[in-house]
A = this chain, B = another copy of it.
Amino acid sequence: MSETTSFPPAPARAEGSADGSREALTVLGMLAYLELAAFSRLAADAGLAPSLRQRLELSGMAREALERIDRLAVRVGELGGDLESAMAPFAGVLVDFDGRTPASTWWERLLKAYVGYNVADDFCRQLAQALDPATRGLVEELLEDDAHARLVVDSLAAAGEQDPTLASRLALWGRRLVGEALGVVQRVLSEQPAMRDLVARSVPDADPGEAQQRLFAQLTAEHSRRMDRLGLAA
């Protein structure tokens, strides 16, 4: 997928930047890859679940991630793209993040997924603002389901309330996670010119550097709100 890193000008620009389909395919591909990673994580969580009921629940959530990939694949096809090619530039984008943030307890694992996926979701939502209405609608709809978020918020908030030491350790862990997650966003932006264009377009009255600064400010603010809801200091 070297066409997305050689900019400007590269042959791939001709693939459909004029109608915005290059940008849409980039966002759809990233989201599909994030869903595939979510599938793997939820399936692994299911295997670790303490009860059969939780195992079935988490397996069901893993399946929903694959169903979201199907929906994304349909839109990718409508735009004349191919799912696998759209996903390929993002394969491994989370490997570094995972390596740098090894979760040593179940709570750390829960918070990691919660922080990481919410930063990614907010990033996708922000990028989608500058896409065609059909793609934007799909992205927003797919990111609405928050069954996993509810599960995490309920159990982390309850655990933190009962154990102030755990709460302060998790608060520290949350700060580390969001730093690493924003680092991933930074790297994706530096590697994907289509995403930089979208960020610039999503803040029309700002220059590109300013638009990126606003994006990061917003991602950080959303993260702080979520930590508040968990009763953890951001």
Number of copies: 2
Using Cβ atoms and an 8 Å threshold, which residues of chain B touch A63?
63, 66
Bits for A52-72, please: 1 = Cβ < 8 Å to B, else 0: 110110011011001001000
The proximity string for A residues 65-95 relative to B, scoring 1 for CB distances below 8 Å and 0 otherwise, is 0100100000000000001100110010000
A interface residues, tally (CB under 8 Å): 22
Once bound together, how far apart are the Cα atoms of A69 and B57, in whole Å? 13
Within 8 Å by CB of A47, from B40, B52, B87, lies B40
Q: Is A46 an interface residue (CB 8 A)?
A: yes
Least Cβ–Cβ distance between A198 and chain B, in angstroms = 23
Q: Which residues of B contact A53 (CB under 8 A)?
A: 84
Residue of B nearest to A39 (CB): B59
Q: Give the chain B neighbours of A83 by CB distance below 8 A.
A: 56
A43 on the B face (CB < 8 A):
yes
Interface residue? A44 (CB, 8 A)? yes
Q: Which of B36, B44, B59 is close to A55, meaning CB atoms less than 8 Å apart?
A: B36
Residues of B within 8 A of A62 (CB): 43, 62
Min C-beta distance of A208 to chain B, whole Å: 31
In the complex, residue of chain B having the shortest beta-carbon distance to the beta carbon of A60: B66
A39-B59, A43-B46, A63-B66 are known; give 11 further A-B pairs, CB within 8 A: A36-B56, A39-B43, A39-B46, A40-B46, A43-B43, A52-B84, A52-B87, A52-B88, A56-B69, A56-B83, A60-B66
